[in-house]
Chain A
Amino acid sequence: GENVEQHPSTLSVQEGDSAVIKCTYSDSASNYFPWYKQELGKRPQLIIDIRSNVGEKKDQRIAVTLNKTAKHFSLHITETQPEDSAVYFCAALNTGTASKLTFGTGTRLQVTL
């Protein structure tokens, strides 16, 4: 089955700096890669996703890049703000044969003033 690894497990940045979180996946058939933000005690919220037919997608301060050959994808947050502090999860899905999202282990992002 699919295996998703995520790094780093914790990340501390100063307000205004950029943050990058990286994930690798094992199943080359995976073709949908969402990112979720989870604040303490809250539900995971989808913040951005990318499909395998594109290499990059951007939405305001967040962007995701995908390298299918290397089987890795990354989340980039620019101009970080304190409200960006949360746990971020990457996930992978093979839309052709599977229904379930396979998640990474999460990155706790702390944005300090």
Chain B
Amino acid sequence: GAGVSQSPRYKVAKRGQDVALRCDPISGHVSLFWYQQALGQGPEFLTYFQNEAQLDKSGLPSDRFFAERPEGSVSTLKIQRTQQEDSAVYLCASSLLLGVRKNYEQYFGPGTRLTVT
């Protein structure tokens, strides 16, 4: 079956522009995560959804970052008024419901590389 997909794969934005990044999780995966990966670093947690409910958004760096998953499948990460420090790869991951059948594996998408100029 298809894995996690993300679009666009690459995005160049001018400082101050708004961007929207899309994630299509694995079919049937209830949990969805967004991570930010700066160059040469490990992924850092941004936010987590269980179905359409955003259960944890503690990693969002500012109120310019907003995520939604209105129907419990596709998710969008929106960044308003982009800044240069927002340049990074944004990774989406999905998982079967955490804890169900003790399955904690998170499967990652290919990421969107955002460059803010």
The interface of chain A, by Cβ under 8 A from chain B, is 4, 6, 32, 34, 36, 42-46, 49, 51, 89, 91, 93, 95, 98-106
**Extra inter-chain contacts (16) besides given A95-B104, A103-B42, A106-B42, CB under 8 Å:** A4-B42, A32-B104, A36-B108, A43-B91, A43-B108, A44-B43, A45-B108, A95-B98, A99-B55, A99-B56, A100-B45, A100-B59, A101-B45, A102-B45, A105-B41, A106-B41
Contacts of A99 in B (CB 8 A): 31, 33, 48, 50, 55-56, 98
Inter-chain contact B91/A44, CB cutoff 8 Å: yes
Contacts of B18 in A (CB 8 A): none
Contacts of B110 in A (CB 8 A): 42-43
Interface footprint category on B:
20 to 34
CB distance from A21 to the nearest CB of B (A): 13
Contacts of B43 in A (CB 8 A): 44, 89, 101, 103
Contact of A95 among B50, B59, B99 (CB under 8 A): B99
B21-39 vs A, Cβ < 8 Å mask (1 yes, 0 no): 0000000000101010000
| Alpha-carbon distance between A91 and B106 when the two chains are bound, in angstroms | 11
Contacts of A101 in B (CB 8 A): 33, 35, 43, 45, 106
| Alpha-carbon distance between A93 and B104 when the two chains are bound, in angstroms | 9
Is chain A's binding surface mostly helix, strand, loop or mixed? strand
CB distance from B90 to the nearest CB of A (A): 12
Ranked 7 nearest A-B pairs via Cβ? A103-B42, A100-B45, A99-B48, A43-B108, A43-B110, A44-B108, A32-B104
Inter-chain contact B98/A46, CB cutoff 8 Å: no
**20 A-B Cβ contacts within 8 A?**
A4-B42, A34-B106, A36-B108, A43-B4, A43-B91, A44-B43, A44-B91, A93-B104, A95-B99, A98-B56, A99-B33, A99-B48, A99-B56, A100-B33, A100-B59, A101-B35, A101-B43, A101-B45, A105-B42, A106-B40
